[in-house]
Amino acid sequence: MEYITLNNGIRMPQEGFGVFQVRDKEECKRSVLDAIRAGYRLIDTAASYTNEDAVGEAIREAIAEGLCTREELFITSKMWVQDMQNEQMAAAAIDASLKNLGLEYLDLYLLHQAMRDYFSAWRAMEKAYRAGKIRAIGVSNFYSHTLTNFCETVEIRPAVNQVELHPYYTQEAALETMKYYGVQPEAWAPLGGGRYKPFENEMLAGIASAHGKTIGQVVLRWNVQRGVVVIPKSTHKERIEENYDIWDFSLTDEEMKQISSLDMGYQGTAIKHFDPDFVRMCTGRKIHD
Ligand SMILES: NC(=O)c1ccc[n+]([C@@H]2O[C@H](COP(=O)([O-])OP(=O)(O)OC[C@H]3O[C@@H](n4cnc5c(N)ncnc54)[C@H](OP(=O)(O)O)[C@@H]3O)[C@@H](O)[C@H]2O)c1
């Protein structure tokens, strides 16, 4: 596994473990422990996944078992839209995530969506960063025009932008914008999020067999070779291990191009961020009173 140095100098693992939709607490805790045992050090959760407490339990257990130290872990969570209404609410959300996780500091905290008053929320993030509660602050689902306006305005530029990135939605132009502003791209749904049937694709199968790897490993490797951080999710131990075993082979330039040719553009997005109904769904979603 390799590390990326973020724009504030801190090191981030280039592969991590995601826990979206792992709502059962015991399953979440067991999966995170399986991931840490397999070698993952980055864990990606969010206030809106309502499993920060289970992730926190797994972290404490892993440290108690001597699997890793807190310093070796890179824990990410995200502020939900409900809390992005003013600076006070945003500051309270950061403290709530820390409390739910049982941590003294977060390695990375992200604004989950470019919705509501994300500038006020960012000022709370900057304060928490300066106070040492968060080692790096970033955003998620910020499309290029929004990210550009944001980077041209804020005091501290985001260290990371976590967006949908997989062979069916390659977002090359968005990666260029992130590079321009020194923002590290991180892929959500790096395996396609259970959509698009990559595991049945013949071209991907051919590349996988040429390397003695699985399709999942090839798809993850493709993003890694583009300089992207990947955070695949699985609740199956053998898949968790398989997804981490991507650091001993390289795709050729030609294979990289072939994989990128699957791109469907905006048609390939799982979540239509430009759809007003989706925005209303997010602004209406409450995760606490
Ligand atoms: N910022 C955001 O808005 C946002 C949005 C979505 C996700 N995320 C983050 O990104 C992480 C990853 O995204 P994701 O969970 O949506 O999708 P993903 O990691 O691309 O795909 C997960 C799906 O693939 C299956 N899978 C995993 N490994 C596999 C393998 N080796 N072979 C075959 N199938 C495999 C999983 O099933 P099993 O679990 O049954 O193995 C699950 O159905 C999330 O967990 C979350 O942390 C962030």
CA of 235 to the centre of ligand 1 (A): 9
Percentage of residues in the chain with pLDDT exceeding 70? 100
Q: pLDDT tens for residues 142-159? A: 999 999 999 999 999 999
Q: How far apart are the first and last CA of the chain?
A: 40
Tell me the sheet residues that pair with 4: 12
Angle between helices 215-225 and 237-244 (to 10 degrees): 40
**CA 190/CA 232 separation, integer angstroms:** 6
Work out the mean pLDDT of the chain and round it to a whole number. 97
- Would 289 be classed as within a structural domain? no
Instruction: Report how many domains make up the chain.
Output: 1
13-41 average pLDDT score = 97
Q: pLDDT tens for residues 180-191? A: 999 999 999 999
Mutation pick for ligand 1 pocket among 20, 110, 220 (CB with most ligand atoms within 8 Å):
20
Tokens of 165: 């990135």
Q: Which of 16-20, 118-122, 263-267 has the lowest mean pLDDT?
A: 263-267
State yes or no: pLDDT of 287 exceeds 90: yes
Please give the helix or strand (H or E) that residue 3 lies within, else none. strand 3-5
For the CA of 236, the closest atom of ligand 1 is: 41
- Would 112 be classed as within a structural domain? yes
**CA 231/CA 162 separation, integer angstroms:** 10
For the CA of 216, the closest atom of ligand 1 is: 31
Q: Is the CB of 199 under 6 A from ligand 1?
A: yes
- Per-residue confidence (pLDDT) for residue 68, from 0 to 100: 98
- Would 205 be classed as within a structural domain? yes
From the list 241, 217, 239, the residue with the least C-alpha distance to 230 is 217
Q: pLDDT tens for residues 40-83? A: 999 999 999 999 999 999 999 999 999 999 999 999 999 999 99
- Would 129 be classed as within a structural domain? yes
- Would 19 be classed as within a structural domain? yes
Nearest residue (by CA) to ligand 1, atom 11, is 18
- Would 238 be classed as within a structural domain? yes
- Per-residue confidence (pLDDT) for residue 244, from 0 to 100: 98
222-236 average pLDDT score = 98
HSE value, Cβ hemisphere, 13 Å, CA-based, for 189: 22
Q: Give the residue numbers spanning the domain of 95.
A: 3-284
- Per-residue confidence (pLDDT) for residue 268, from 0 to 100: 83
Task: State the greatest distance between any 2 C-alpha atoms of the chain, in Å, as a whole number.
Answer: 54
Judged on CB neighbours under 10 Å (0-12, 13-18, 19+), 9 is exposed
Q: Is the CB of 231 under 6 A from ligand 1?
A: yes
CA of 22 to the centre of ligand 1 (A): 10
Q: How confident is the model at residue 161 (pLDDT cuts 50, 70, 90)?
A: very high
Q: Is the CB of 18 under 6 A from ligand 1?
A: yes
State yes or no: pLDDT of 85 exceeds 90: yes
Q: Is the CB of 19 under 6 A from ligand 1?
A: yes
Q: How confident is the model at residue 270 (pLDDT cuts 50, 70, 90)?
A: confident
- Would 11 be classed as within a structural domain? yes
Q: Is the CB of 236 under 6 A from ligand 1?
A: yes
Judged on CB neighbours under 10 Å (0-12, 13-18, 19+), 271 is middle
Q: What is the CATH number of the domain that holds 144?
A: 3.20.20.100
From the list 186, 113, 122, the residue with the least C-alpha distance to 153 is 122
Q: pLDDT tens for residues 91-116? A: 999 999 999 999 999 999 999 999 99
Q: Is the CB of 11 under 6 A from ligand 1?
A: no
For the CA of 235, the closest atom of ligand 1 is: 39
- Per-residue confidence (pLDDT) for residue 90, from 0 to 100: 98
Handedness of CA 113, 46, 133, 68 (dihedral sign): negative
